[in-house]
Amino acid sequence: MNTNVSLTLPAPTAKVEAIERSPGFWSGVIAKLMRDPVALGACAVLFALILIAVFAHQLVPSDPYQTSMIKRLKPIGFDGFPLGTDELGRDMLSRLMLGTRLSLFMGITPVLIAFVIGSGIGILAGYAGGLINTLIMRTIDILYAFPSVLLAIALSGALGAGIGNALLSLTIVFIPQIARVAESVTTQVRGRDYVEAARASGARPFTIVRVHVLGNVLGPIFVFATSLIAVSMILASGLSFLGLGVRPPEPEWGLMLNTLRTAIYTQPWVAALPGVMIFITSISFNLLSDSLRSAMDVKS
Amino acid sequence: MNASTDSAAKEAIVSVRDLHVTFTAGKKPVEAVNGVDLQVARGETVALIGESGSGKSVTLRSLLRLHPARHTRIEGRIEVAGANVLSMGSRALADYRGRVASMIFQEPLLALDPVYTVGAQIIESIRRHENISTADARKRALELFERVRIPSPERRLDAYPHEMSGGMRQRAMIALALACRPQVLLADEPTTALDATVQIQILLLLRELQRELGLAIVFVTHDMGAAVEVADRFAVMYAGRIVEEGPTREVIRNPRHPYTLALMQARADGAMEKGARLASIPGAPPDLAHLPMGCAFAERCTFAQPACLQTRPDAVELGGDHRARCLRTDATIQFGRPRMERPAIPA
């Protein structure tokens, strides 16, 4: 007798549910940013600035280094110079466009390097805790005690003028700030249940740092670092303004602001243009980092 | 030691002897656990019951040595599946955690990492202990999700913890704890953060898994009702010691330590009349940094005698694997269940 009774099972209906997958963390963040008009606006401005920076040489209407004693300090809308000319008769529009390069570079690079180093230091201090934490963080506090402008000027002054030294001093200025944020976020994360749960499931310290600490800590640090880009640009401009950063005749917004300050009474609008550019860029970075902060909040 | 306790000790997969845990972070050392003895057999569920600060969670965490080594002094002996937990090196300890004994936490939303999918966390845990491919680990994770009865498991593996409901998250947490087929499951108030209907489902699930997989479960709770549902044995803790221990029925029907008795009377039974006062235990638990010389419960105990303030009582065998650390077990015998009406404790 055949005991193998074949049962006719209903056809699997699992097809329907397999389609809808839950989006990844970052694609969720991007989706939220896309719904945020402020973030979109800031992104558009920054994207335009980056395009200008990359293709500056192709885009400039005239030679940014061409001086002319006859056409110096012309007003906005002067024939052939849509944004006027500077104190040496060079085209302001071209110089502002080319200046985007150095200004963005000076704004982003120090923050990027400080992000890597500062996060490392802060996560190490936060995760190790105890004596190691105290040693690292008190050392960081010494640097932190100086106002950032003062520290940047002092370091640049000591190292000597030049782009490389300006970048270095700005990096040193930002490392303590990022390390502090990294340390405090890491200390918070370290005490979370999921870290203990990971330990309870046999994860070793290195795995915990790599997976659970980094995964939860990089987001907040990244947001903070984005907001520092604006500060970095302003500080870099300040250094250039003082003659410690970019050297003439290279166009950089802070330096342009410096050299044009003598013209503030003759051509105030032209003299203010580099400042306007700094303002637009830094506010775009700030708005973007604000939107990023709310988009990365998982619970909302 | 006689032969019967020897054979019981052989069967025990968890064996804790004279455990002392002292936290030294503050100014005064805090004796959170002082002198806990606990045996859990293979396939047995033991509930550690007690109020906040009684040392039940500390005892549980000691089994995995989860306390920060820097600020904790652990003395005594902990053996799980034949291995001495307190003498393990860091590598052996990491191999032991999750593989031999694993833990379920009270609040699954906090115990699951918010930035990874639940599936990714289970796969990570499996691959930590076993040298298998991600695809195989995922297959195992899927089986686990089916086992803990998560509906549409394939899709839930790719869900983030915040996208799941509380009960679902706790099921996922249980799946994570079972990922490496541990022999001992430690549950730290696994149902406290859940609502009442979900609590029962989770308790039944634990019970079922325990039977199917032959797990030993140590289950910490302050909820008597939940403990009765799942536990084979009760261990009632007070001020860092197990004051009464025995088979669930025995302890419930015939509590012999005045503290257990008072806990039973402080329960809000279903038949409580409207307007009736809920019985409570007067006073507060002792400060663990300044433990009294005698019985820690003596100050709040209605049966206390001068002798209780002088010596810490040893365990009194009451028959049927039932023990209480009390000098007055003779006075509490009359309050057992066999009588229909429980007389009120004289005030």
Tokens of A59: 């885009």
Question: Using a CB-CB distance cutoff of 8 angstroms, which residues of chain B are in contact with residue A21?
Answer: 155, 158
Express each pLDDT in A60-114 by its tens digit.
778 777 777 777 777 777 777 777 777 777 888 888 888 888 888 988 999 999 9
Question: Using a CB-CB distance cutoff of 8 angstroms, which residues of chain A are in contact with residue B99?
Answer: 202
Express each pLDDT in A173-182 by its tens digit.
999 999 999 9
The share of chain A scoring above pLDDT 70, in percent, equals 90
Whether the CB-CB separation of A196 and B64 falls below 8 Å is answered with no
Closest CB to B98: pick one of A17, A192, A202. Answer: A202
Express each pLDDT in A249-267 by its tens digit.
888 888 888 888 888 888 7
Whether the CB-CB separation of A130 and B70 falls below 8 Å is answered with yes
Q: Give this prediction's pTM.
A: 0.76
Q: Is 70 exceeded by the pLDDT of residue B347?
A: no
A81 three-class SS = strand
Closest CB to A202: pick one of B116, B129, B159. Answer: B129
Closest CB to B154: pick one of A14, A202, A219. Answer: A14
Measured in degrees and rounded to the nearest 5, phi and psi for residue B186 equal -105, 125
User: What is the pLDDT confidence band of residue A9, given thresholds at 50, 70 and 90?
Assistant: very low
User: What is the pLDDT confidence band of residue A171, given thresholds at 50, 70 and 90?
Assistant: very high
| Closest chain A residue to B121, measured at CA | A198
Express each pLDDT in B249-262 by its tens digit.
888 888 888 888 88
Residue B107: CB atoms within 10 A of its CB come to: 18
CB contact under 8 A, A22 and B64: no
CB contact under 8 A, A22 and B158: yes
Question: Using a CB-CB distance cutoff of 8 angstroms, which residues of chain B are in contact with residue A216?
Answer: 113-115
Residue with tokens 């479960």: B217
Integer angstrom CA distances of residue B33 from A153, B234, B239: 57, 17, 7
The C-alpha of A171 sits at a distance from chain B's nearest C-alpha, in angstroms, of 29
pLDDT on residue A113: 95
CA distance A270 to A95: 12
User: What is the pLDDT confidence band of residue A115, given thresholds at 50, 70 and 90?
Assistant: very high
CB contact under 8 A, B113 and A207: no
Per CATH, the number for A95-295 is: 1.10.3720.10
User: What is the pLDDT confidence band of residue B273, given thresholds at 50, 70 and 90?
Assistant: low
CB contact under 8 A, B115 and A199: no
- As a whole number, the mean pLDDT across chain A is 82
> For A133-137, B7-11, B198-202, which range has the lowest pLDDT when averaged over its residues?
B7-11
Surface-to-core class of residue A6, CB atoms within 10 Å of its CB (0-12 exposed, 13-18 middle, 19+ buried): exposed
Domain ranges of chain A: 95-295
Residue with tokens 């006689």: B2
Q: In sequence order, what are the residues at sequence separation of 6 or more whose Cβ sits closer than 8 angstroms to the Cβ of residue B330?
A: none
Q: In sequence order, what are the residues at sequence separation of 6 or more whose Cβ sits closer than 8 angstroms to the Cβ of residue B178?
A: B102, B144, B147, B148, B185, B209, B213
User: What is the pLDDT confidence band of residue B324, given thresholds at 50, 70 and 90?
Assistant: confident
Whether the CB-CB separation of A86 and A72 falls below 8 Å is answered with yes
CA distance B157 to B163: 11
C-alpha closest to that of A20 among B167, B156, B142: B156
CB contact under 8 A, A207 and B177: no
DSSP calls for B214-262: T-EEEEEES-HHHHHHH-SEEEEEETTEEEEEEEHHHHHHS--SHHHHH
Q: Interior CA angle at A133 toward A130 and A137, to 5°?
A: 145
CA distance B140 to B149: 14
pLDDT on residue A138: 93
Cis-peptide, bond into residue A249, ω within 30° of zero: yes
> For A123-137, B55-69, B152-166, B311-325, which range has the lowest pLDDT when averaged over its residues?
B311-325
Question: Using a CB-CB distance cutoff of 8 angstroms, which residues of chain B are in contact with residue A196?
Answer: 66, 105, 111
User: What is the pLDDT confidence band of residue B331, given thresholds at 50, 70 and 90?
Assistant: confident
The share of chain B scoring above pLDDT 70, in percent, equals 91
Q: In sequence order, what are the residues at sequence separation of 6 or more whose Cβ sits closer than 8 angstroms to the Cβ of residue A245?
A: A106, A156, A161, A162, A163, A166, A236, A237, A239, A252, A254, A255
Interface probe with B: pick from A201, A206, A218, A300, most Cβ of B within 10 Å: A201
Interface probe with A: pick from B66, B71, B88, B113, most Cβ of A within 10 Å: B113
Closest CB to A194: pick one of B111, B160, B177. Answer: B111
Question: Using a CB-CB distance cutoff of 8 angstroms, which residues of chain A are in contact with residue B158?
Answer: 21-22
**Helix/strand/coil (H, E, C) string of B266-294?**
CCCCCCCCCCCCCCCCCCCCCCCCCCCCC
Helical ranges in chain A per DSSP H: 15-19, 25-34, 37-54, 56-59, 92-128, 130-144, 148-159, 163-190, 193-200, 205-207, 214-241, 253-260, 268-295
Highest mean pLDDT among A82-91, A177-186, B1-10, B34-43: A177-186
Q: How many helices (H) and strands (E) does chain B have?
A: 13, 12
